[in-house]
Amino acid sequence: MSDQTTILDTVIIGSGPAGYTAAIYASRANLNPVLITGMEPGGQLTTTTDVENFPGYPKGITGPDMMADLQSQAERFGTVVHYEYVTEVKFSKENGGLHYLKTSGGKEFQAKTIIISTGASAKYLGLEDEKKYAGSGVSACATCDGFFYRGKDVAVIGGGDTAAEEATYLAKLCNKVYLLVRKDEMRASKAMQDRVNNTHNLEVLYNHELVGLEGNLVVEKANIVNNVTNEESSLTVDGVFIAIGHTPNTTLFKDQLEMDETGYLITKDRSTATNLPGVFAAGDVQDSVYRQAITAAGTGCMAALDAERYIVEFFEN
């Protein structure tokens, strides 16, 4: 690290709703934050179309427009945004210690506080057609996109709690829901399986996998295979929801921060504090349950307030 490295009050890693909300609060509190966007500037919302459930937008807003608005709101108060990703972190273990970061562009920072809002990425099956129809019939979030499939037929892929939850949620909106489970049993909890089995317009297809999608610009048909008999068939559906889990973006922090067994950062009760002083986590990177833009924004606000209080306690007294 060079001796010239600037010491900042706050560096925010990640540019989704959590990161930008933290930036708005931190910059309005004169913490002069630097925000490092990561590889997908704007985060998961930039891959969705219309956002209709974020309070304050009665006519809805597109995901990319919302993220552009959040960014300009943060920049208006002085947040400096770098379009890079973080390649290295060394967190201090001491109260009042300085944290070190290096970026893909070779920039080095020292900071009194770090706010991690690197999010989580939905897992996909890896089919070419998932990319081809992304936002045009393929989604990884029923709460976000289910509304657009009201009265239509859809398929959900997966056999865990997320898939069961998404399928039962969609069954309330859609005409018919097919749930494709690759094994002959579901991994979801008994209670969730009971809900699935008691939903009249939800049909579980065990031992079935999605192999391809067809349609003129938007999904019209899902091609599936029975992996026991190898029999191929197709479902006439308007949407396919991939619900095979999420991966929190925390590889960079391994061995430094406490995580649960699936890699989500652990925060202390009713705060965004991680196990290290001055390091805070907000948004989906620490939330495997709610995973909404509004909840991410809420914890982003909390992280900025936590960072501000930490700085007052350990650097200004």
Amino acid identity at 157: I
Q: Using the rule CB under 6 A, is 287 a contact of ligand NDP?
A: no
CB 85 within 8 A of CB 103: yes
Distance in angstroms (rounded) separating the CA atoms of residues 123 and 80 = 31
Pairing of strands 50-51, 34-36: unpaired
Chosen residue from 158, 239, 278, 298 binding ligand NDP by CB under 6 A: 158
- Site map (CB under 6 A) of ligand NDP, residues 185-224, x = contact: --x---------------------x---------------
CB 230 within 8 A of CB 145: no
Q: What's the residue count for the chain?
A: 317
Rule CB under 6 A: which of 86-115 touch ligand NDP? none
Q: Using the rule CB under 6 A, is 308 a contact of ligand NDP?
A: no
Taking the complex as a whole, the smallest distance from the CB of residue 162 to ligand NDP amounts, in Å, to 3
Chosen residue from 19, 42, 159, 278 binding ligand NDP by CB under 6 A: 159
The closest residue (CB) to ligand NDP is 160
Taking the complex as a whole, the smallest distance from the CB of residue 42 to ligand NDP amounts, in Å, to 23
Distance in angstroms (rounded) separating the CA atoms of residues 258 and 209 = 35
Chosen residue from 161, 212, 256, 315 binding ligand NDP by CB under 6 A: 161
Among the listed ranges 2-10, 55-63, 99-107, 160-168, the one in contact with ligand NDP (CB under 6 A) is: 160-168
Taking the complex as a whole, the smallest distance from the CB of residue 283 to ligand NDP amounts, in Å, to 16
Q: Using the rule CB under 6 A, is 244 a contact of ligand NDP?
A: yes
Computed on alpha carbons and rounded to an integer, the radius of gyration of the chain in Å comes to: 21
Give the pair of three-digit tokens for residue 126.
């890896």
Please name the residues in contact with 7: beta carbons below 8 A apart, sequence gap of 6 or more. Answer: 98, 110, 111, 112
Distance in angstroms (rounded) separating the CA atoms of residues 291 and 298 = 11
Among the listed ranges 46-54, 62-70, 157-165, 229-237, the one in contact with ligand NDP (CB under 6 A) is: 157-165
Q: Which residues are marked as active site?
A: 141, 144-145
Which of 174, 183, 185 shows the shortest CA–CA distance to 236?
174
Q: Which residues bind ligand NDP (CB under 6 A)?
A: 125, 157-163, 165, 182-183, 187, 209, 244-245, 288
